[in-house]
Homo-oligomer: A and B are copies of this chain.
Amino acid sequence: MPTVSADELRRIGREVYERVGASPEEAEIVAGKLVESNLVGHDSHGVLRMPQYVDGVASGQIVLGATVEVERETAATAVVNGNWGFGHVTAVEAMRIAMEKARQASVGLVTVHRCNHVGRVGAYPPTAAAAGMVGMMANNGHGADLAMPPWGGIGRVLAANCVAMAFPTDRDFPVVLDLTTAVAAGGKVRVVLARGESMPEGWMMDAEGRPTTDPNTFVTEPRGALLPFGGSVGHKGSGLAFVLDILSGALSPAGCSRANSEVTGNALFVQAIRIDAFRPLDAFEAEVGRFIDYVKATTPAPGFDEVLAPGERSHRTREERLKAGVPVEETVWERIVGLARKLGVEV
């Protein structure tokens, strides 16, 4: 498997997007967020998707140079219209607006519509954490991108809505939760498919609602679905997906999950909270640091070497890959090289 430095992947991405007409700022953000996903080990949202956003520009799904527009606002809130620009760019701007509002009003809460796919939702809250704030983001599929049934049902009815939160700490990494309400993201099924493996037991149902471990069920008609997470208490994952759908889809004009949506993308719920409105930032960070130590001191269960805090594994992977480079699967690398050369980008 080729190993490529993060800088080199970023340069290629930047130049690729500039060649298809993105501004330097747009290209920087999209390439940066893709490579950041690889760095933290979420390869399913990494450079593997570089061609997807080139295709999005070609098809007109992604509008180059779109203005991120504040349609309605108060000191603490805003409704943002992404005007179908790059989803990553809209999400970065939405978090920036939420943080700016939090600076003034202690809390900033922004909902977003007409926004293309933002990639990994967990990529945005750490920006707030780095500025001494709590960052949160939730999404739905802008009404589409249906992947799982509600608890007790069959079929693809809800999107695998996500919620992510990040918190500053006095350690060398922030606490980051990045949670999909399905047992796994759809990208995981594609990885299993590509490797010719089976899905774990209890993760999927077929089109008739029967348990299956065959990943083909997810992509071949009549299609099955991933399950909401929770196992025997899957109503919890399902209920969480339901309310995240409302927060992102009904508090914005995008709408909640529905059959036959005419568009796809991400509607967002974005929040930044100024910690020093509640207590001094250093006291907060020290308490979270102490909490991390306490949780990590837990005796490992059979089959585990250690207990990790949310965000810790990603931080380790990032440190490793910054030094050693990002491993990119052969087929993915070939596609990137092909795309780059076609556009006259040196690889």
Give A residues with C-beta under 8 Å from B. 72, 74-77, 79, 105-107, 109, 111, 134, 149-155, 157-158, 165, 167, 175, 177, 179, 183-184, 200-203, 205, 209-210, 229-233, 236-237, 239-240, 242-243, 245-247, 249-253, 255-259, 273, 275, 277-279, 283-284, 287-288, 290-291, 294-295, 298-302, 304, 306-310
Closest-by-CB residue of B relative to A163 is B240
Specify the chain B residue showing the minimal Cβ separation from A149.
B298
A167 touches B307 (CB 8 A): no
Contact B250 A288 (CB under 8 A): yes
State whether A232 touches B294 (Cβ < 8 A). Answer: no
Cβ-closest 10 pairs across A and B: A231-B231, A153-B298, A256-B291, A152-B304, A209-B301, A153-B307, A239-B310, A250-B287, A74-B106, A77-B277
- B278 with A209: CB separation less than 8 A: no
Whether B76 contacts A76 by the Cβ 8 Å rule is yes
Q: List 29 A-B contacts (CB under 8 A).
A: A72-B279, A76-B277, A79-B279, A105-B105, A109-B273, A134-B247, A149-B298, A151-B307, A152-B304, A152-B306, A152-B307, A153-B299, A154-B301, A158-B295, A165-B243, A167-B243, A175-B243, A177-B239, A177-B243, A179-B239, A202-B232, A205-B301, A236-B237, A243-B310, A249-B287, A250-B287, A253-B283, A257-B291, A258-B294
Task: Report the separation of the CA atoms of residues A247 and B284 in the bound assembly, to the nearest whole angstrom.
Answer: 10
Which B residues lie within 8 Å of A256 (CB)?
Answer: 287-288, 290-291, 294
Complex contacts, A209 vs chain B, CB 8 Å:
299, 301-302
Tell me the smallest distance from the CB of A203 to a CB of chain B, in Å. Answer: 8
Rounded to whole Å, the gap between the CB of A172 and the closest CB of chain B is 17
A104 to chain B: closest CB distance in Å? 10
Complex Cα gap A154–B210 (Å): 34
* CB < 8 Å neighbour of A150 from B177, B183, B298: B298
Q: Which B residues are CB-close (under 8 A) to A175?
A: 242-243, 246
Q: Report how far A123 CA is from B294 CA in the complex, Å.
A: 31
Say yes or no: A253-B233 contact (C-beta < 8 A), given A107-B107, A134-B247.
Answer: no
Contact indicator B295/A157 (Cβ below 8 Å): yes
Q: By the criterion CB–CB under 8 Å, are B179 and A236 in contact?
A: yes
Q: A151's closest neighbor in chain B, by CB?
A: B307
Can you name 8 extra interface pairs (CB under 8 A) apart from A175-B243, A230-B237, A246-B291? A77-B277, A77-B278, A106-B109, A152-B307, A183-B233, A210-B302, A242-B295, A242-B310
Assembly CA distance A72 to B283 (angstroms): 15
Q: Choose one: B76, B259, B275, B283; the contact of A294 (CB below 8 Å).
A: B259
Whether the Cβ atoms of A251 and B284 lie closer than 8 Å is yes
**Nearest CB in chain B to that of A184: its residue:** B233
Instruction: Point out the residues of chain B lying under 8 angstroms from A298, CB to CB.
Output: 149-150, 152-155, 157
Query: Closest Cβ of chain B: how far from A82's Cβ, in Å?
Result: 16
